[in-house]
Amino acid sequence: MNRRSPLVWAVAWVGISFLALPLVALVARVPWARLAEILASSAARSALWVSLQVSVTALVVSVVLGTPLAWVFARRDFRGRSLLRTLALLPMVLPPVVAGVALLLAFGRRGILGQHLEALAGVIIPFTRTAAVLAAGFVAMPFFVSSAEAGFASLARGYEEAAATLGVGRWRRFRRVVLPMVAPNLAAGAAMAWARALGEFGATITFAGNVPGVTQTMPLAVYLQLEQDPEAAFVLAVVLLAISVMVLAGARAFGRSR
Amino acid sequence: MSLSVDVAVRRPGFDLEATFEVASGQVVAVAGPNGAGKTTLLRAITGLERVERGRVVVGDITVFDSSAGIDLETERRGVGMVFQGYWLFPHMTVAENVAFAARGPADRWIEGLGLGDLADRYPSELSGGEAQRAALARALAAAPRALLLDEPLAALDVETRRQVRSELARHLAAVDVPVVLVTHDPLDAALLADWMLILENGRVTHSGTLTEVTRRPRTPWAARLAGVNLYRGEGIGKGIVIEGVMLAVPEPVDGPALAAIAPSAVALHEERPAGSPRNVWRGEVVGIEPAGSRLRVSVRGDLDIVAEVTTEAAETLRLRESAEVWVAVKASEIETYPA
Amino acid sequence: MRTGFVAVAALFVVACEASGGGERTLTVFAASSLTEVFATVELEFEADHPDVDVVVNLAGSSTLATQLLAGAEADVFASADTIQMDRVTEELVPIVGPQVMATNSLVLVVEEGNPAQIGGVEDLARDDLVVVLGAPEVPVGRYASELLEEAGVEAVEASYEANVRTVLSKVELGEADAGIVYRSDVGSADVDAIEIARQLNVTATYPIAAFDAGEPDLAASFVDFVMSAEGESILAEAGFTR
């Protein structure tokens, strides 16, 4: 079809404006004059540092736990597979605050597991860095698993079979044949997971609370600064936007280079 | 170091049983119609397919024995395989592919299979024939104790097939482990293998050299196989000399060569034909057999040959045993191969 | 297909009207510490004005102020401190007030049974306790930090929540050992309240103001009602003083 449909283009323009306008407005309203002062403030630097640590740790957890999980989902058939799969992907669509409540009920001080942790080992999870990582990881991991699973499933078995006939063992096959070939999927999944972890708010504030320097991530800082010093909130918001743009661009560049 | 195979594979709607042994340095062709189970047989030997019952011994190592509970994983069997799809690793260069599982330096294999100029190319940049050589080099570099090839020429176009076939014959001759080659093309069996098996519907129906198998075909498929007239001779440019008879051929060929003539391309005449065919000789009918809706006529003469004619033509020619006929074959119908 | 769409649209419009029944709506923004008490106020006011539907939006006062400044339409704003009220009245001119409708004081809440054996605010410096407070811009948080500064106590690694009700619920759920909330919040919650010495305690002032957001008369009536004797008794029952 070579004919341009004006209606389709018009609606598309409305769509892109809807998505782009808020982002443009954010950048436009940033108080550039106060940028240095705000970013240098200890609250901002602390929130940024907490965000980076929490999101990266959550990403690592997602990748380490998620890769074998994705492999099993992609390559093995077993009873209850589709139920477990649904469960594993559920946090993606769960409202974040619901996730926070669920985490409290599992790992909180009166939670199914948490109560025993406190009684036996004196370990308290809510309001700690660990809680922030759990909250971010809980919502982010399904993004990685979903993408990794698609990658593993779509890889033709022939390559692994050929490697096996060459005498190459399971682990080396995975490392040198499978991983390089699914790397784009893994990278895309990791980028999505990291971005989600970075932006996590509802589950974090419910389960990990807002402890400056410990669990006060950038999104929490933005939310609270909005009521105290809105301009500071705008600056932090635009920093988050910049990081998100870089993550997206980086993931796409990586995918393209393959 | 030989390869001994005795397997039974059972799947819903499919049933394969095969027993054979390949000596070191021998090449066995497994031919048969599509769906006969040839690929399954190879996969069963490598351990990629579940075997119900049987025993596979590679050299002096039993890699599979259902009664003894032995079932080695594919990577420990030492059975190399060149797949129909080659499965060269797309993220590695040819050199890296060959070196991937190589025991010892890979250069030997890269040079040996003429891949020197292609070493830094990626699989996506190779032609069909080049990819086949790369896959073969990769498999050989891993020092397998037996080698399996699944339809090595099927993915190539007709012109390339001829050239690659003779190259492959050279490479296989230099391999000193047992080789099993699956093909549906009798020419592969003739030119690449020492002897062959015919697999039909999951059972071995014939076993022996091509000549033995085609002399007395026991199944229709084998009979079709037998339908190729194959001769060894000496090429001298535009002609080939076979048992003292000179045949004109379309493609110049020199040195030891093979000539193949399809029975349907053999014309029979009552009298010596006038006109174009340059390859003409006299013969005597020694056998007539039905072949589907046509007749297969065996003719003994300067060159023994099998012709395929319609029943009407046979009547017109008044063909019967001991009848005298003239055989005519157009040069263009003769395919030659350097031997 | 077309008739189906029209039918649904008509139903939708009817449903919207039905909830109001041709009623007038009064929008009230109230601090979360006023949750229960304003529920009672709402009931009483609607009983006196049968054609009015009172809609109460509850949140931390700082959040409400931000929303009002961003253009949210509210007829009445009841804040938990004068700072948030001043933020709003700097930009929006009230038609009535601000007037102080109630005062409140702070109290320390701990898990029922006080298993951590907390005696007073000075224990909030213990590093074995999980402490929750209001965030600095939320009135209860500001009051609490004033109080702690007066007492010379530094809460170690406290979590700063967005409103006082979240502080209360975290203690109630057992996730936090101690928190500082308003006396009026304790009510029927499953927590133990520990008094704070009067000389340390702060008095929280609750101003209320009416704005012209389409129902100026109604807004003024609402504020009058809260400021009346009836309003005072409702507040007193809930733990507020005037």
pLDDT of residue C44: 94
Q: With bands split at pLDDT 50, 70 and 90, how would you rate the model's confidence at C20?
A: very low
CA B229 centroid distance within chain: 15
Nearest residue of A to residue B148, measured between CA atoms: A165
Tens-digit pLDDT profile for residues A189-222:
999 999 999 999 999 999 999 999 999 999 999 9
Q: For the residues C135-153, what does the mean pLDDT come to? A: 91
A187 and chain B in contact, CB less than 8 A: no
Q: With bands split at pLDDT 50, 70 and 90, how would you rate the model's confidence at C4?
A: low
The residue among B43, C168, C189 whose CA lies nearest residue A158 is B43
B312 and chain A in contact, CB less than 8 A: no
Show the tokens assigned to C110.
């701990």
Chains B and C touch (3+ CB pairs under 8 A): no
pLDDT of residue B189: 84
Residue C106: pLDDT above 80?
A: yes
Is this complex's ipTM strictly greater than 0.85? no
Q: For the residues A25-50, what does the mean pLDDT come to? A: 90
Chains within contact range of chain A (3+ C-beta pairs < 8 Å): B, C
B147 and chain A in contact, CB less than 8 A: no
pLDDT of residue A225: 85
Residue B181: pLDDT above 80?
A: yes
A257 and chain B in contact, CB less than 8 A: no
B145 and chain A in contact, CB less than 8 A: no
Nearest CB to A210 within list C66, C160, C176: C160
Who's near B50: CB < 8 A, 6+ residues apart?
B9
Residues of chain B contacting A167 with CB distance shorter than 8 Å: 75-76, 78, 101, 142, 144
Q: For the residues B65-93, what does the mean pLDDT come to? A: 94
Q: For the residues B254-262, what does the mean pLDDT come to? A: 83
Nearest CB to C173 within list A108, A227, A230: A108
The lowest-confidence range among A11-20, A82-91, A206-215, C16-25 is C16-25
A70-99 residues touching C, CB cutoff 8 A: none
Nearest CB to C159 within list A108, A211, A226: A211
Interatomic CA distance for residues B219 and B223, integer angstroms: 6
Q: Beta partners for A22?
A: none
Residue C80: pLDDT above 60?
A: yes
pLDDT of residue C16: 54
Q: What is the mean pLDDT of chain B?
A: 88
Q: With bands split at pLDDT 50, 70 and 90, how would you rate the model's confidence at C2?
A: low
Residue C17: pLDDT above 60?
A: no
pLDDT of residue C1: 58
Percent of all residues in chain A with a pLDDT value above 90, rounded to a whole number: 71
Choose between C89 and B216: higher pLDDT: C89
Residues of chain A contacting C136 with CB distance shorter than 8 Å: 228
Q: Is the pTM of this model over 0.90?
A: no
Tens-digit pLDDT profile for residues B112-161:
898 999 999 999 999 988 999 999 999 999 999 999 999 998 888 877 88
Residue C31: pLDDT above 80?
A: yes
The residue among B285, B156, B306 whose CA lies nearest residue B224 is B306
Nearest CB to B101 within list A168, A170, A180: A168
Chains within contact range of chain B (3+ C-beta pairs < 8 Å): A
Size of interface A-B (CB pairs under 8 A): 57
pLDDT of residue C8: 66
How close A4 gets to chain C, by Cα (Å)?
28
Q: For the residues A249-257, what does the mean pLDDT come to? A: 77
Tens-digit pLDDT profile for residues A48-99:
999 999 999 999 999 999 999 999 999 988 898 999 999 999 999 999 999 9
Apex CA C23: angle with CA C22 and CA C28, to 5°? 150
A122 and chain C in contact, CB less than 8 A: no
The H or E element that residue B182 is part of is: strand B179-183
- The 3-state DSSP class for residue B257 equals strand
How close C156 gets to chain A, by Cα (Å)?
10
Q: What is the mean pLDDT of chain A?
A: 91
Tell me whether residues B83 and A162 touch, CB distance under 8 A: yes
Domains with residue ranges and CATH for chain A: 39-257 (1.10.3720.10)
Residues of chain A contacting C140 with CB distance shorter than 8 Å: none
pLDDT of residue B291: 73
Backbone dihedral angles phi then psi of residue B255, each to the nearest 5 degrees: 85, -175
pLDDT of residue C12: 61
CA B163 centroid distance within chain: 14
CA B112 centroid distance within chain: 22
Q: With bands split at pLDDT 50, 70 and 90, how would you rate the model's confidence at A253?
A: confident
Q: With bands split at pLDDT 50, 70 and 90, how would you rate the model's confidence at B294?
A: confident
Who's near A25: CB < 8 A, 6+ residues apart?
none
Segment C41-50 long-range contacts (CB within 8 Å, at least 24 positions apart): C41/C225, C41/C226, C41/C231, C41/C234, C44/C225, C44/C230, C44/C234, C45/C222, C45/C225, C48/C225, C49/C218, C49/C221
B122 and chain A in contact, CB less than 8 A: no
Interatomic CA distance for residues A119 and C143, integer angstroms: 34
